[in-house]
Amino acid sequence: MLTSKIAGIGCYVPANKITNEDLKEYMDTSDEWIQERTGIRERRYAHRTEETTTTMAVEASKIAIERAGITAQDIDFIVFATLSPDYYFPGCGVLVQRAMQMKEIGALDIRNQCSGFVYALSVADQFIKTGMYKNILVIGSEKHSFGLDFSTRGRNISVIFGDGAGAVVLQATEKEGQGIISTHLHSDGHSAELLAMYNPGTHANHWVKEPLADYIDAPIGEMFMSKEMIDKAQNFPFMDGPAVFKKAIVKFPEVIMEALIKNGLTTADINMLIPHQANLRISQFVQQKLALRDDQVFNNIQQYGNTTAASIPIALCEAWQQGKIKEDDLVCLAAFGSGFTWASALIRW
């Protein structure tokens, strides 16, 4: 039977380091507040004009493809997860296809924010299991720094997010017991507006009245940003941080346990949990709830902040590079974020 294994993994973060101290130049915040609430010490910001979500993705992809021992010409399909695409449309998948001079293969963009990479991996896994494709490039990449509110008004969000990219080559294998064991995808749209960027969009304030109406309001014909919308900061993401936190600490353990139970495994079988790097406090809560040892969980949010769709592949890449993931290890990926959507994947490395 065909399964999919991660044949190569790569990651890329911009050189430009932004510390918590640096952010104090723009907003009323402190290193102490940010570290205490999120664990974040610094993050990377892409070059304003020379780096995009796609160019970072290409750098990560080159490494993943080389480590898989193949060339860009061998890639059969691209699945690209991002919430910060280069263009409103088309998606970043086609830009990678062009930049890497690939064949005229299919390219699919996934819009599932923080759980985007696990969703992307799951989609790619299905194509491989059916025998349709052999080598799929799965990418998560974000350039958040282009669209955050760096005034005090936006500080609850802007201190959290960073830029970067990660990619894997998912490859068909017949080796028994290796590769993706199962993936588990969920959503609950009732809280869609609690972590969202409403504009540009076609909603014309259809979904939500008070109290978010003023924040969301987009008059018909002005979905591509009127001056008034910009003045009211309606062009920036919105997050109800405490509500996200409360839901995340329930759904992370739930979706991890779902994956383990489905496969007759327990938390003791996990060699490495790679949680989406939303907030160090969330990861610590999940670790404690599942009674996992420190060596069973990998976190690097301290250096990179929350890079949304890129956070899991960057963390997976670093854990592997540091020798913390070895052949035959049971790796669990778990994510939660905007939508809300949440997901997990179990992989035998």
Please tell me the distance from the alpha carbon of residue 6 to that of residue 121, in angstroms, as a whole number: 10
Enumerate residues 6+ apart whose C-beta is below 8 A from 21: 31
Give yes or no for residue 277 binding ligand COA (CB under 6 A): no
135 or 306: CB nearest ligand COA: 306
Find the shortest distance in angstroms from Cβ 281 to ligand COA: 6
Residue from 159, 167, 216, 317 touching ligand COA (CB under 6 A): that is 159
Give yes or no for residue 278 binding ligand COA (CB under 6 A): yes
Find the shortest distance in angstroms from Cβ 227 to ligand COA: 27
- Which one of the spans 11-19, 70-78, 242-250, 312-320 is the region binding ligand COA (CB under 6 A)? 242-250
Find the shortest distance in angstroms from Cβ 100 to ligand COA: 29
Nearest Cα residue to 8 out of 69, 79, 74: 69
Task: Confirm whether 114 is a catalytic residue.
Answer: yes
Please tell me the distance from the alpha carbon of residue 133 to that of residue 170, in angstroms, as a whole number: 10
Find the shortest distance in angstroms from Cβ 18 to ligand COA: 13
Q: 92, 114, 317, 332: which is the annotated catalytic residue?
A: 114
Give yes or no for residue 237 binding ligand COA (CB under 6 A): no
- Three-class SS of the chain: CCEEEEEEEEEECCCCEEEHHHHCCCCCCCHHHHHHHHCCCEEECCCCCCCCHHHHHHHHHHHHHHHCCCCHHHCCEEEEECCCCCCCCCCHHHHHHHHCCCCCCEEEEECCHHHHHHHHHHHHHHHHHCCCCCEEEEEEEECHHHHCCCCHHHHHHHCCECCEEEEEEEEEECCCCCEEEEEEEEECHHHHHHEECCCCCCCCCCCCCCCCHHHHCCCCCCCCCCHHHHHCCCCCCEECHHHHHHHHHHHHHHHHHHHHHHCCCCHHHCCEEEECCCCHHHHHHHHHHCCCCHHHECCCHHHHCECHHHHHHHHHHHHHHCCCCCCCCEEEEEEEECCCEEEEEEEEC
Task: Confirm whether 317 is a catalytic residue.
Answer: no
Q: Which two tokens stand for residue 91?
A: 């998606």
Please tell me the distance from the alpha carbon of residue 96 to that of residue 118, in angstroms, as a whole number: 19
Q: 20, 135, 279, 306: which is the annotated catalytic residue?
A: 306
Residue from 16, 35, 156, 178 touching ligand COA (CB under 6 A): that is 156
Residue from 228, 230, 242, 250 touching ligand COA (CB under 6 A): that is 242
Task: Give the residue at shortest CB distance from ligand COA.
Answer: 241
Find the shortest distance in angstroms from Cβ 161 to ligand COA: 8
CB distance 247 to 336 below 8 Å = yes
Question: Which string of x and - marks every residue 178-207 that binds ligand COA (by CB under 6 A)?
Answer: -----------------x------------
Give yes or no for residue 151 binding ligand COA (CB under 6 A): no
72 or 333: CB nearest ligand COA: 333
Give yes or no for residue 114 binding ligand COA (CB under 6 A): yes
Q: 11, 199, 276, 279: which is the annotated catalytic residue?
A: 276
Question: Which string of x and - marks every residue 281-310 that binds ligand COA (by CB under 6 A)?
Answer: -x-----------------------x----
Give yes or no for residue 29 binding ligand COA (CB under 6 A): yes
Give yes or no for residue 147 binding ligand COA (CB under 6 A): no
Task: Confirm whether 306 is a catalytic residue.
Answer: yes
CB distance 201 to 91 below 8 Å = no
Give yes or no for residue 244 binding ligand COA (CB under 6 A): yes
Find the shortest distance in angstroms from Cβ 241 to ligand COA: 3
Number of residues that bind ligand COA (CB under 6 A): 21
Residues that bind ligand COA (CB under 6 A): 29, 33-34, 37-38, 114, 155-156, 159, 195, 239, 241-242, 244-245, 248, 278-279, 282, 306, 337
Active site residues: 114, 276, 306
